[in-house]
Amino acid sequence: MASRRPLGIFFIVVGAIGLSIGLYTALSAMGGMYKDALEDPLGEPKGGEGKDVSKEMLTAVVTGIVGVIPFSLGLRMVLPKGGRRAMTGGRARRDRL
């Protein structure tokens, strides 16, 4: 059986890219909204601007969630014992004693 390590690393990289894209998109949308508010605090927002930002942020959150799936699968493939010990903080061994 071939080693699962290269495939696990591939999943970690793909998941990290998805998480990064989602995080960057969400934060840039929120940052743009606050930047506009700081530039013209008393100005009226353009019609529906808040709804556009919320849709963009929701899309970014979904992208991030999709990135979590391959990231966690990759961790389980790469880490010893399927990543259970690392994910539980070493409690698995202590509970057996």
pLDDT, one tens digit per residue, over 11-26 is 999 999 999 999 999 8
Query: Is residue 23 domain-resident?
Result: yes
Question: pLDDT tens, 69-92?
Answer: 999 999 888 887 655 555 666 555
At 11 the pLDDT is 93
- Please check whether residue 95 lies inside any domain of the structure: no
Alpha-carbon Rg for the chain in angstroms: 20
Q: Which domain holds residue 29?
A: 5-41+49-90
Is residue 14 one of the residues assigned to a domain? yes
Count of the separate structural domains present in the chain: 1
Q: How much is the pLDDT for 38?
A: 82
Coil, strand or helix: which one is 63? helix
Residue 5 pLDDT > 90, yes or no?
Answer: no
CA–CA separation, 6 and 9 (whole Å): 5
Average pLDDT, the chain: 79
Task: Give me the half-sphere count of Cα atoms (radius 13 Å) on the Cβ side of residue 85.
Answer: 8
Task: Give the closest residue to 66 by CA, choosing from 25, 16, 28, 30.
Answer: 16
